Amino acid sequence: MKIYQGSISKESLNLFVSDIGSGEFFSYVGHLVSLEQAISVLGLLSPDFIEFDGHVFWQPNAQQYEPQKNYLKGLVETEAGVLEQSASRRDVERYRNVFSINQFFSKWEDAPNRPVFKVGLSEEDYRLCHLFAEQITRYWKRALSDCFPEKVFQFEIADDLLDEYGVCLTFWQL
């Protein structure tokens, strides 16, 4: 017998505030997540992409993209903490594709006994944000490959990326 475990370790359940479904994700989701919430997460794992003037950007809704409002300017860190505008494709994509994980969520589980560890998060929530960013990266790489099979993308997960706060991810074309 061979066992092929999923890409998210069951041990990450130990980071959850709730112990419902401890040991596996199916019971947790079945008890606490509605069908609409589950489908929304699937939608988040496969966002819309826009290719504009050789640049590739992710969008929550491509139908709402307005090129005249989105200048092809990005930011680059020239020295520690100093940001300057840049028009290079790499810098524009890296800046415009930033997704701040912990700023994205407006709902968090109450855990008043967990002290702040880093970027305003408890150690458990910080690790969960990184886990979420890694999974987003995994799915977005696949989605980008499907949409742009001839292009190669680089992903980055970091704290306080450019002008965003907290655990962030971004990507750009190589």
Q: Per-residue DSSP letters for 155-174?
A: EEEEES-TT--SEEEEEEE-
Beta bridge partners of 57: 50
Please tell me the predicted confidence (pLDDT) of residue 54.
Answer: 93
Q: What is the DSSP letter of 149?
A: T
Burial 83-115 (b: 16+ CB within 10 A, else e): eeebeebebbbbbbbbbbbbeeeeeeeeeeeee
Please tell me the predicted confidence (pLDDT) of residue 102.
Answer: 86
Instruction: State how far the Cα of 52 lies from the Cα of 29, in Å rounded to an integer.
Output: 38
Query: How many Cβ atoms are within 10 Å of 150's Cβ, its own excluded?
Result: 5
End-to-end CA distance of the chain, in Å?
A: 41
pLDDT by residue, tens only, the chain of 174 residues: 988 777 777 777 777 777 666 677 778 788 888 889 889 989 989 999 999 999 999 998 888 888 777 678 888 888 777 888 998 999 999 999 999 998 887 666 777 787 778 878 888 889 989 999 999 999 999 999 999 999 999 999 999 888 888 899 999 999
Please tell me the predicted confidence (pLDDT) of residue 169.
Answer: 96
Domain ranges across the chain: 1-33, 46-173
